Structure 1
Amino acid sequence: MNQATAPKPDAVRRLKELGALAPGGDFALEPTASGPLDGLTFAIKDLFDVAGRVTGCGNPDWLRSHQPAPRHAAAVEKLLAAGACAIGKTITDELAFSLNGQNFHYGTPLNSTAPDRIPGGSSAGSASAVAGAACDFALGTDTGGSVRIPAALNGIFGIRPSHGSVDDRGVMVLSKSHDTVGWFAREVDVLAKVGDVLLPPDTGEDAPFGEVFVARDAWALADPAVAAALDPVRDRIIAAIGPSVDMTLAADCGGLSAWRAAFRFLQMREIWAEHGAWIEREKPQFGPEIAERFAMSREAAAKTDTGEAELRHLITRRLDDMLAEGGILLIPTAADIAPLKSMSASDSAGFRDRTLSLTCIAGLARLPQVTLPGARVGGTPVGISLIARHGRDRALLALARRLAV
C-alpha cells in the first residue's frame, strides 16, 4: 500500500482558500495503478482512514484519543487502484452529526456559489472542494443527507448509494443501518465513472426506467420559490422517462413528519450504541448543537421502540413495491436554498426538519438517490433528486447521465 506523500501545493492552497482542509489533511496519495480514473483527483472526507494518519472525524478530542489507521479505507484503496490521485482530507461536521457544515472547532468551508451561506454537511469540506474546483470528485458519507444536501446547496452532483452497496471498511460508523459511502462531482460523467469503480453490479430486474412518481407531500415541503424553480426541471425529467403518477407518499402512515421522527429515533439509538461509551469516557468538547444531539441520543437509547422499527419495515416494503418495475421517485433534494451562516437557531431547526423529512425517505428504505443541479433561486442553487429501487445504483447513474445532457 502506498503511504502519504508530499502535498500538492496548488491543491492544498485551494483547499485552504475554501476553508475545506481538515487538520493534518495536507498530504497526497499517488495512484497505485493505472485505470479508468487516470488523471482525476479526489479529496477524502475526514471520516475515512488513511494509513499512518489519525482519522479526525471533525473533533479535536477524537483526534487526540485515537491511533493512526493501519491501512487506507477500502474505498480509498479502490480509487487509487483505478488511477485517481488523492489531494488530501476535508473538514466534516463533528462525527458527521449535522447537515449544516459549520464545524465549531475548525470553521465553515466555503459555499462558493453563495459565500454568505452554509455549504451543508456533514460532508461540507468535500462538497466545497468539488464545487470550488480543488479536485474532480470527493468522497463523503451520507447517513441523513450528508452528501445529498451539500451537493444540492453547492450546485453539484452527488449520490447516496444503496445501503451496503459500497464497501465501508475503514470509515467511522455513525449509524450502521443508515450509513453509506457517497461522492460528489461537478460533471455527471465523473460521478458515473467513480460509480463504475466503487459499485457492484446492479441486482434484481433490469427493466428500463419508465414511470415517475411525483410525491405531493414531498414537494409541499419545499419553499414555494424552490418548487417553482424546479417545476420545469421536473416536467423535463418526466418527459424524458415516461408517464408520471401524482401521489401522496406517506398519507396513510403518519405523514413525512412521522417518517422523520422514526428516522431520528432509530438513528440516535444506533449513534449512542456506537459512541456513547467513548463520550462518557473521554467527555469530549462538542459545539453546542452537536452536544445537544448527543444528549438527545443518550435519551433515545434509554427509550423503548414504540413502532419506529415496524414503520421502517412498512416504508421499505412500500417503496420497494412502488419502484419494482422501472419506477423513479422524483423529489426536491432540500426544502430550501442554503440558509445564511447567520441564521437563528429556530431557522436552523426549521431547515433541518423540513429537509430531513425529504432525506429520510431513502434513508429509511436504504435506497439509492442521486441529486442533480436543478435550478437557481436568487442565484443560489437548488437540487432535484431521483430515487430508485435498492440495488439499481448503476442504472440510476446512467439515467442521471442521460438527463444531465
Structure 2
Amino acid sequence: MNQFDKTNISDPFVSKNTIEPYSPGELNGLSFAVKDNIDVANEITGYGSPGWINTHSEPVVNAICLEQLLNAGGKFQGKTKSDELAYSLIGVNSFYGTPLNPKAPDRVPGGSSSGSASAVASGLADFAIGTDTGGSIRVPASNCGVWGYRPSHGAISVSGVLALAPSFDTVGILAQTGKILEKVMQVLLAENSNGSNAFSSVCFVDDVFQMSDRQILDKITPSLNKISDICKVQTLKLAEITDPHVNCNWLFEQLGFLLSTEIWNTFGAWIKNEKPELSSGVEYNLHGYAESANRKVIQSSLCAKKAFQNKISNFLCGGKILCFPTTVDLAPRLDEITPDFLAGEYIPRAMGVNAISSLSCTPQITIPVAEANGVPVGLSFISGYGQDMSLISFCNQLNT
C-alpha cells in the first residue's frame, strides 16, 4: 500500500467486538473504544503493524485500564487504529489507512491515537482511550476538535499496554466533552473530583505563542481574553520559568534523543530477530534515528530532563497553570503528507511544544476552543504533578 495515498481514508476501528459493562457505575450510558496497542483478551493487539501481528500471540487478559472502565459501567465498542507502532504524530498508516478527521475531512487526524480521536469526533464513542508518549493524545485531540488528556506520568496503569518508550508512555483519554473526561479520569485515577479551583494564576508560555501560526493566534484570542478576565495572568518564556538555555527547540532535541534511545531498546531485538514487515517510513525512522542515537550522551540528556522537571515543578507548586496552543500549526492537509513534508519542521515544532509535559511528567489537558478556516484549534493547560483532578475542574469551569 502506498503510504501517501490520499484517497485511503478508513474507518477508525480495527475491530468492533463489543463488551457489555461488568456492573453499573460512574460511566453508565457511556460508550468507549481503545487504541490497538492496549490488550483486549483473545484479540491480537495489532499495534498498527502487520509485522507485529504476525510475530505475537493473543493476550489472555484485558489491560487494567479496560477492566477499570468495564467495572465502572462503560460499554466497550471496539479497538481503534493507530499509527504503525505508535511511531508518528500524523495519523497516516500505510497498511490500514488514515482514519477520517470528521471536523476537517481534508486534513490528517493526527497520531498516533488517530482512530481513537476519529471515533470520538465522529460520535461513534463518547470517549476513547489512547496512549501518549510525545503527543499522541494531545495532537489528534487538537486536530479533531475533542478534549484530550495526558496524565501525570504513572498516574494511570499501563499494565497490558504495549511499550514504545516506557519512561514517557502514558495512557490518555479523548472525550467529547469536559464532563465526560472528568468522569473517566475519576475512574482511571481512582480519585474524586473536588470541583474547586486550586490555582492562583495562569502563565501564558510566550515561546509557544511566538511560534504559532497567525490563524491560530487570531482564533484563540477570545479564549485568552476570557482567561485574563477571570484569572490572574502573566506571560513568560520557558527560559524565565526554567533555565536560560531552554526553548522549544532545545526541548525537542532532548525529547527526540531520549525517545529514540528507548524506542530502539523496545523494538531493536524484535526487528533484528524477526525481520518484520515495516513501512518504508517507519523502517527509516527506526534505523535512521532510533538505532543510530548516540548512547554515550544519554546521561547528560537524562540529567537535563530531571533539571527541567524540577524547574517546572517548582514553578507550578504555588498553584500556577501553564497555558499555550496545543499545536502551533493547523492540522496538515492530506495532500501535504509527502516524504519531504515528514522530513520538514512540522514534527519538530509539534514535539517541541508537547515536550513541556512529556519531559516534566506533568498533566496536560487540551480543550477545543475554536476553528480556523474550518480546522479545529486546541488550547492546552498544564498543572503541577498529581493535580490532575483539580486541572479538569479548572478547565470545566473555564469552559462554562
TM-score greater than 0.5 by the shorter chain: yes
Select 1:330's aligned residue among 312, 323, 326.
Answer: 323
What SS does the corresponding residue of 1:145 show, helix, strand or coil? coil
Among 367, 370, 379, the alignment partner of 1:372 is 367
- Alignment pair present for 1:309 and 2:299: no
For 1:81 and 1:238, how far apart are their aligned partners in 2? 41
Report whether the alignment pairs 1:267 with 2:259.
yes
- 2:27 pairs with 1:37: yes
Pair 1:76 & 2:71 matched? no
The letter for the 2-side match of 1:355 is A
Distance 2:68 2:17 in 1: 18
Instruction: Give distance in 1, aligned partners of 2:279 and 2:44.
Output: 21
**Which secondary structure state, in structure 2, belongs to the residue aligned with residue 304 of structure 1?**
helix
Determine helix, strand or coil for the equivalent of 1:102.
Answer: coil
Q: Which residue of 2 aligns with 1:127?
A: 117
Q: What is the aligned partner in structure 2 of residue 387 from structure 1?
A: 382
The match for 2:4 is: none
Shift of 1:353: 1.2
| 1:18 CA drift (Å) | 5.5
Q: Distance in 2 between matches of 1:201 and 1:268?
A: 34
Q: Does 2:339 correspond to 1:345?
A: yes
Aligned to 1:117: 107
Contact 1:42 1:135 in 2 (8 A): yes
Q: Distance in 2 between matches of 1:29 and 1:261?
A: 42
Deviations 1:350-402 (A, max 9, x none): 21111111100000001100000021110110100000001001111111111
Distance 1:32 1:116 in 2: 39
Task: Report the CA distance between 1:306 and its aligned residue.
Answer: 6.4
Q: Provide structure 1 residue ranges, at least 5 long, that are not aligned to the other structure.
A: 1-15
Q: Which amino acid aligns with 1:308?
A: S
Aligned residues: 385
Instruction: Summarize the Cα distance change of 1:247–1:58 in structure 2 as closer, same or farther, 3 Å threshold.
Output: same
Give yes or no for the alignment of 1:289 onto 2:270. no
- Look up the SS of the partner of 2:335 in the other structure: coil
Please report how far the alpha carbon of residue 287 of structure 1 lies from its aligned counterpart in structure 2 after TM superposition: 2.1
Structure 1: which amino acid aligns with 2:38? Answer: F
Q: 3-state DSSP class of the match of 1:286?
A: coil
Match of residue 235, structure 2, among 246, 252, 256 = 246
Equivalent-residue separation in structure 2 for 1:247 and 1:257 (angstroms): 17
Alpha carbons 1:175, 1:271 under 8 Å: kept: yes
Measure how far apart 1:219 and its partner are: 1.1
Question: Structure 2 CA distance, aligned partners of 1:319 and 1:78?
Answer: 31
CA 17–311 in structure 1, closer or farther in 2 if over 3 Å, else same: closer
Q: Match of 1:340, as an amino acid?
A: R
Name which of 151, 157, 176 aligns with 1:186: 176
The letter for the 2-side match of 1:339 is P
By how many angstroms is 1:292 displaced?
A: 1.9
- Corresponding residue SS for 2:107: coil
1:244 and 1:108 mapped to 2: Cα distance? Answer: 40
Letter in 1 for 2:41: A
Instruction: Judge conservation of contact 2:35–2:115 (CA < 8 Å) in 1.
Output: yes
Q: What's 1:9 paired with? A: none
User: Are the counterparts in 2 of residues 18 and 132 from structure 1 also a CA contact under 8 Å?
Assistant: no
Shift in Å, 1:17: 8.9
| Counterpart Cα distance in 1 of 2:339 and 2:200 | 42
Q: Deviations over 1:21-76 (max 9, x none)?
A: 11xx1201111111010111001100110111110000001011111101000000
Tell me what 1:4 maps to.
Answer: none
In the alignment, what sits opposite 1:8? none
Q: Which position in structure 1 is the counterpart of 2:225? A: 235
| Letter paired with 1:353 | P
1:52 and 1:18 mapped to 2: Cα distance? 24
The 1:222–1:345 alpha-carbon spacing in structure 2 relative to 1, beyond 3 Å, is farther
Aligned-partner Cα distance in 1 for 2:214–2:340: 20
Q: Deviations over 1:288-330 (max 9, x none)?
A: 2222221110011644326211211111011101110110000
Instruction: Report percent identity of matched pairs.
Output: 37
1:358 aligns with 2:353: yes
**Amino acid in the other structure paired with 1:329:** L
C-alpha distance in 1, partners of 2:97/2:381?
Answer: 31
Aligned residues of 2:90 and 2:109 also touching (Cα < 8 A):
yes
Structure-2 residue corresponding to 1:58? 48
Question: Using the alignment, how far apart are the partners of 1:354 and 1:336 within structure 2?
Answer: 8
Within 2, Cα distance between the matches of 1:317 and 1:332?
A: 23
Residue 279 in 1 paired to residue 265 in 2? no
TM-score by length of 1: 0.92
Q: Structure 2: 5+ residue runs without aligned partners?
A: 1-7
Q: Which of the numbers 286, 293, 306 marks the counterpart of 1:300?
A: 293
SS in structure 2 at match of 1:192: helix
SS at match of 1:182: strand
| Pairing of 1:81-100 with structure 2 (within 5 A) | 81-100=71-90
Instruction: Please state how far the C-alpha of 1:266 moved relative to its aligned partner.
Output: 0.6
Q: Give distance in 1, aligned partners of 2:201 and 2:341.
A: 36
Judge conservation of contact 1:162–1:391 (CA < 8 Å) in 2. Answer: yes
